[in-house]
Chains A and B, each alone.
Chain A
Amino acid sequence: MVGATRTVEDVLRGGGFTSFHRRVVLITGFAWTFVAFEIILISLVLPVIGSEFGIFDLGTFTPRDPFAYGAVAAATLVGSLIGSLTLGRLSDARGRRFLFQASVLSYSAFTALTALSFNVPSLFLLRMLAGVGLGGLLVIDPAILSEYLPPQHRGRYMVLLDFFWPAGFLVAIAFWYVFVIQLGGAWRLLFVAAAFPAFIAFLFRRTIPESPFYLARQGRLQEASSVLRTVARTEVSSAELAAEPAIPRAPMSALFRGDLLRRAIVTIGVWIALNFSYYGLFLWLPPALAGFGIVNFGNPNTLALFLVFSALAQFPGYAASFLLVDRWGRKRTLALFLILGGLSGYVFATARDFWTLVVGLFFVSFFNLGAWGAVYPYTSRRNTARPGSAWRKESAR
């Protein structure tokens, strides 16, 4: 009889990066792309919907009711907050696989139902309900990826996941351009079409088994060893596999004591700065660009070019951050990107001519998204520590 001598982490480490991991990276990456797509989409479509519901003036491209406009822009994030809190924890208890699929199907269904909105409150409610599924995916998707990856590759591929975020921005722009610009404001049709990420749930169901960490924590070692044979391409029997211990939950007050106090305060400050700047800027980007009065956005192609330009600037931002975090340090990279993002944001905010506007937009997008790439490894245990609770994974997006 062989004793329980190996943990899930040991097996994953020994198996290295396999073809299975390539599939998981792609599927979780697609899911991440569509989360960004769903969150950003409303900011592009809202002027047209707002015009129909009386809160936006397309003639001047300014909101008639800025608070209603801001509330609808924030609706998905309200739902996302609820979904992260509830579905993330639920996936710890019920398994990642079911909750991943339920989250995808839920946000896809409510996105399609957004087509039935008939006034501002109904639009807010349906976007908020779509956000619940998105919030679940925001915590479960990275949890799934980290729980399959071998620990020696975990940090690199978790950061790689973030490269899929600006791709979602580009997909949202493409949808907006086709349905709103080319098809003459067909926003209802757009939301029906935007439910297409539902296919990921079926792709996932066919490809990805339950998390081996989850199974081992539940004492289902037979199933865990079977999954690990598929994932790590190595022989492992249930008899030699150790059950995963339950995750101890430290009290929140522990973060504000001793050595952790300074780090906790700095980390909270950085997350506030990043979230405020990203969602403040990008959820208001179309009317904000028009508000300068420098460029005539009466031609939607011009607005499309600015939006694509902003999205494209985000890729090299992530790439630069990805390289600098390891070579130069997490803190220095994060601080530098935030400071330069703030300075270029100020240049953008005070632009008085075309080229200052373009350069300011490029660099504020570049540094803001680069800072997101640095904040995850700066904040999280995930790159060095073992996978655990989905809620404790990153995902403050």
Chain B
Amino acid sequence: MAEGVGKVTAVLAPLVFAGLYATTGGVLWPLTSVAVLMLAGGLIAAAFGPETKGASFT
């Protein structure tokens, strides 16, 4: 399911980039949004993610 959400996000990403580009008139904010989301994902994984090595999802 996470991957399904990821696929929807993949579709939205170029459109959100376009929206930010059109609104701000440049690439600074669209690229910053890319950076912020990566950073946020990493911090969430570091703070709350369990280690899954050797674990099964079922």
In the complex, are the beta carbons of B42 and A338 less than 8 A apart?
Answer: yes
- A118–B28 Cα distance when bound, in Å, is 33
A349 to chain B, nearest CB (A): 4
In this complex, how many residues of chain A approach chain B with their Cβ under 8 Å: the count is 81
A74 touches B28 (CB 8 A): no
CA distance A278 to B13 in the complex (A): 8
Residues of B within 8 A of A396 (CB): 2-4, 6-7, 10
| CB-CB under 8 A for A349 and B31, given A67-B22, A342-B36 | yes
Task: Count A/B pairs, Cβ under 8 Å.
Answer: 246
- Whether A272 and B6, one on each chain, are in contact in the complex, defined by CB atoms closer than 8 angstroms, is yes
Q: Is A262 an interface residue (CB 8 A)?
A: yes
Complex interface bits, B2-40 against A, C-beta within 8 A gives 1, otherwise 0: 111111111111111111011000111011111111111
Contacting chain B: which of A27-35, A225-233, A326-334?
A326-334
Chain B contact residue count (CB 8 A cutoff):
52
A381 to B54, CA, bound (A): 10
In contact, A342 and B39 (Cβ under 8 angstroms): yes
Residues 73-94 (chain A) with a chain B CB within 8 angstroms: 73-74, 77-78, 80-81, 84-85
A192 → chain B closest CB, angstroms: 25
Q: What are 20 A-B interface contacts by the 8 Å CB criterion?
A: A70-B17, A70-B18, A74-B10, A74-B14, A81-B11, A266-B44, A270-B44, A270-B49, A273-B41, A275-B10, A278-B10, A280-B14, A280-B30, A281-B34, A335-B43, A342-B39, A345-B38, A349-B32, A381-B58, A384-B56
Chain A residues at the B interface, C-beta cutoff of 8 Å: 63, 66-67, 69-71, 73-74, 77-78, 80-81, 84-85, 250, 252, 255, 260, 262-281, 283-284, 287-288, 291-292, 325-326, 329-332, 334-346, 348-350, 364, 367-368, 371, 377-381, 384-385, 394-397
